[in-house]
Chains A and B, each alone.
Chain A
Amino acid sequence: MGIFDRSTQGHVTPPVEVTLERGAIAFFAETIGETDPVHLDVEAAQAAGHPDVLAPATYAVVVGTFAGQKAARQGQPDLLTLINGDLRVLLHGTEAYDYHGPMFAGDTVTVQNEVTGFSDPKGGKLEIAHVTTRITHPERGPIVTATRGIIHRLG
Chain B
Amino acid sequence: MTVTPQNAKVGDMIPDHKFGPVTRTTLALYAGASGDHNPIHIDLDFAKNAGMPDVFAHGMLSMAQLGRLVSNFAGQDKIRHLDTRFTAITPVGATVDCTGEVTDRREEGGETLLTLKLAAHIDDGTQTLKGEAVIAV
- Using CB atoms and an 8 Å cutoff, list the residues of chain A in contact with chain B: 24, 27-28, 30-34, 36, 38, 54, 56-58, 61-62, 65-66, 68-69, 87-99, 102
Contacts and interface: CB of A to CB of B under 8 A. Distances in A.
Contact of B68 (A30, A33, A95): A33
Given A65-B35, A90-B40, A97 B86 contact: no
A79 to B, nearest CB: 12
A97 B34 contact: no
Q: How many B residues touch the partner, as a band?
A: 35 or more
19 contacts: A28-B34, A31-B32, A32-B64, A33-B68, A54-B77, A56-B68, A56-B71, A58-B64, A61-B60, A65-B34, A68-B35, A88-B40, A88-B50, A90-B40, A92-B60, A93-B85, A94-B83, A95-B83, A98-B80
Contacts of B81: 96-99
B111 to A, nearest CB: 14
A50 to B, nearest CB: 8
A91 B50 CA distance: 12
